[in-house]
Amino acid sequence: AERLLEIRNLTAGFLSEQGIVKATDRVTLSLDKGQTLCLVGESGSGKSVTSLAVMRLLEFAGGIILDGSIRFHGEDLMKKNQDELTRIRGNKLAMIFQDPMSALNPVFTIGDQIAESLQLHQKKKKKEAWSKAVDLLRLVGIPAPETRARQYPHELSGGMCQRVVIAIALACNPELLIADEPTTALDVTVQAQILDLLQRLKQEFGMSILLITHDMGVAAEMADRIAVMYAGIIAEEGTVAEIFDNPSHPYTIGLLKSIPGFEGERGEELYTIKGTIPSINQLPDGCRFHPRCPHVMSRCREEEPPLLAINADHHAACWLHEETAAAGQRVGVSAW
């Protein structure tokens, strides 16, 4: 498979009165063409900061990239100037967010908003842009698209608005769609419909998706690979099969046990991971999960574990896997 996105050792954060606060620490991730990578974690785990950094939009949100590299199509996004980035964002990368209403302009019809994007990115003439806008509305599953195109955002439901936002994103024919909790604000039925739509677009257009979610159930349905983030680091990453069949970081295991119906008999009380995610400016020493970990060892309180290879396709930042990782390296499983 062709590598589309490669993030290496991305450390990003914010300036505070106490100095620099790191929201992500040496995050390393990759995404192949036509695949979906789900970034899973609680709020405050660094998922959104990672995605904003990929778009090079973090600067506009008051953040800074401190270290690392982001390669897209083999090009280093860190070396691009704002003009080049605007061109890349308009042609190859698109991003959608949780709240569709904030992404739409209330004073223009939805048809105009999609058409404007087409005129801008695909240099379409006005009339052609309008008919393409109607086509895009049909493509994203909006009924009676000719009529809907003349309506304003407030005349549409939240789910319909998110479809419109997706249509706008598609107007630039993106190779990578970054979707930050795109269904969190929607009710369950609508959520499933939007996820189906994203799956369909991925299959039909070979689009890659970086999907950010706090919901392991969503990741199970959508992901080819999953990266679990915890307090700014990648706690575990691997193929969806590896993560669900052989979860290896105690945090991931806790997340899975808290999915209704995933493990054990129905009606059994749901597991909750004790404690809360530490704030990024008050991280514990050693493994940052150690105050919540049921398997904590004395070493965990002092030394931070690196991402260790469970196998060539699966990594976890946990000392429990040191021997496995060392054995794998002896038999030649590539170090990541």
Cα dist. 320→132, 271, 310 in Å?
Answer: 54, 21, 10
Residue placing its CB nearer to ligand SF4 in the complex, 160 or 300: 300
Size of the site for Mg ion (CB under 5 A): 1
Helix intervals (H) in 155-303? 158-170, 188-205, 216-222, 240-245, 250-257
DSSP summary character for residue 271:
P
Report the residue from 186, 198, 226, 300 that binds ligand SF4 according to the rule CB under 6 A. Answer: 300
Q: How far is the CB of 321 from ligand SF4 (least distance, A)?
A: 8
Tokens of 206: 């070979």
51 Cα distance to chain centroid? 6
Short-list 236, 177, 198, CA closest to 4: 177
Number of residues that bind ligand SF4 (CB under 6 A): 14
- 295 scored as a contact of ligand SF4 (CB under 6 A): yes
CB 35, min distance to Mg ion, A: 22
Residue 307: phi and psi, rounded to 5, are -70, 120
Q: Considering only residues 15, 61, 120, 297, which one is a binding residue for ligand SF4 as defined by CB under 6 A?
A: 297
Write the CB contacts of 8 (distance below 8 Å, at least 6 apart in sequence). Answer: 28, 68, 69, 70, 71
Rule CB under 5 A: which of 263-282 touch Mg ion? none
Q: How far apart are CA 145 and CA 135, in angstroms?
A: 8
230 binds ligand SF4 (CB under 6 A): no
Alpha-carbon dihedral 83, 89, 90, 94, rounded to 10 degrees = -170
Region near Mg ion per CB under 5 A, out of 43-51, 74-82, 130-138, 171-179: 43-51
**Partner from Mg ion, ligand SF4, none contacting 48, C-beta within 5 to 8 A by type:** Mg ion
> Which residues 219-248 are close enough to bind Mg ion by CB under 5 A?
none
305 interacts with ligand SF4 by CB under 6 A: yes
Provide the mask over 232-271, with x wherever binding to ligand SF4 is found by CB under 6 A and - wherever it is not: -----------------xx---------------------
Residue 293 lies near ligand SF4 (rule: CB under 6 A): yes
Least Å from the CB of residue 320 to ligand SF4: 5
* Of positions 48, 183, 208, 252, contacts Mg ion by CB under 5 A: 48
Q: By CB under 6 A, name the one of 57, 64, 320, 333 that touches ligand SF4.
A: 320
* Contacts of residue 7, Cβ cutoff 8 Å, sequence gap at least 6: 27, 28, 29, 30, 50, 53, 54, 68, 69, 70, 71
Rounded (5°) CA angle 141-174-77: 150
CA distance 256 to 170: 33
Residues contributing to the site for Mg ion (CB under 5 A): 48
Residues contributing to the site for ligand SF4 (CB under 6 A): 249-250, 287, 289-290, 293, 295-297, 300, 305, 318-320
